Structure 1
Amino acid sequence: MEWNTSNNNKKKMTVINGSHFSNLAGFYEEVSDVLTKDTNWKVGTLDGFNDILYGGFGIFENYDEVEIIWKEAKKSKRDLGFEATREFYENKIKRGKPFNVGLIQQKLDELIDGKGQTLFEILIEIIESHKNIMLILD
């Protein structure tokens, strides 16, 4: 885990290290340690992960230029791939409310049919939706 601010501009850099986790809960721990260090806030959901990427309550401010290097991304792609995603959706379906079971079943069906996104792909999409963040898979 690293956090650097270069002196010549306002771009900030941080590292998510895929060797530090092997499941979604571990990913949440890693990004909590990296992005919200020195706060009492911990990431625990996909929405929560998206929220911290807006900045303002972690280690960067809203609209700061940020570079995230995801080390061991290939390992994370495997760890957060089909099996982990299937289990993620199945657990939500078993729990039922407050989850939209119909929508989650649809996402699970799409995954099984080869049309849905894995957790890894969802996380990448969340990061890339923030135009001030550059993601580098290492």
Structure 2
Amino acid sequence: MELNTSNNNKKKMTVINGSHFSNIDGFYEEVSQLFMKDEDWNVATLDGFDDILYGVDTDITWKNSQKSREDLGFDLTKEFYENKIRMGKPYNVKLIQQKLDDLIEGKGQTLFEILIEMMESHKNIRLILD
């Protein structure tokens, strides 16, 4: 007897649409609607986004990813780090200052690159940039 497993191998498809947001808070809103719609909390940090990815088994297509690459690029990332340094505790200001210095020197990652690396690090996710 042959088993038809083709339906079992189809992963869920999730679409992150870069035209729906232009900053990191908008990204958090977008992924909260996609991954957390039945939950009492929303994604509000990079660590929080990484945490929810552990429970996700899906193919993610990031539509308008070039727009997101620009929106979540150098300028926004620099501002993101500067805000954390200005706030101080509970943030590790020394570490964040190093990340900011690396970014300015061209050695650091933008928020977009951090998010891509985060998603690609999860074996249960296949990321497609569109």
TM-score range, shorter chain: over 0.9
| CA-to-aligned-CA distance 1:96-138 (integer Å, 9 cap, x gap) | 0110101100000000000000000000011011011000000
**Partner-residue secondary structure (3-state), 2:106:** coil
Once the two structures are superposed, the pairs formed by residues 1-138 of structure 1 within 5 Å of their partners are: 7-55=7-55, 60=56, 64=57, 66-138=58-130
**Partner-residue secondary structure (3-state), 2:85:** helix
Q: Could you tell me which residue of structure 2 aligns to residue 3 of structure 1?
A: none
Aligned residue identity for 2:120: E
Aligned residue identity for 1:42: N
Identical columns (%): 74
Aligned residue identity for 1:38: D
> Under a length normalisation based on structure 2, what TM-score does the superposition of the two structures give?
0.92
**Runs of 4+ more than 3 Å apart:** none
Q: Which has the higher contact order (CA 8 A, sep 6+)?
A: 2
Ranges in structure 1 where 5+ consecutive residues have no aligned partner:
1-5
Ranges in structure 2 where 5+ consecutive residues have no aligned partner:
1-5
| Residue 10 of structure 1: how far off its partner (Å) | 4.6
Aligned residue identity for 1:113: E
State the number of aligned residues.
Answer: 125
**Partner-residue secondary structure (3-state), 1:136:** strand
| CA-to-aligned-CA distance 1:28-65 (integer Å, 9 cap, x gap) | 0000001111222200000000000011xxxx4xxx3x
Asked which structure has the greater CA Rg, the reply is 2
**Partner-residue secondary structure (3-state), 1:16:** strand
**Partner-residue secondary structure (3-state), 2:123:** coil
RMSD: 1.3
> Under a length normalisation based on structure 1, what TM-score does the superposition of the two structures give?
0.87
**Partner-residue secondary structure (3-state), 2:38:** coil
**Partner-residue secondary structure (3-state), 1:131:** coil
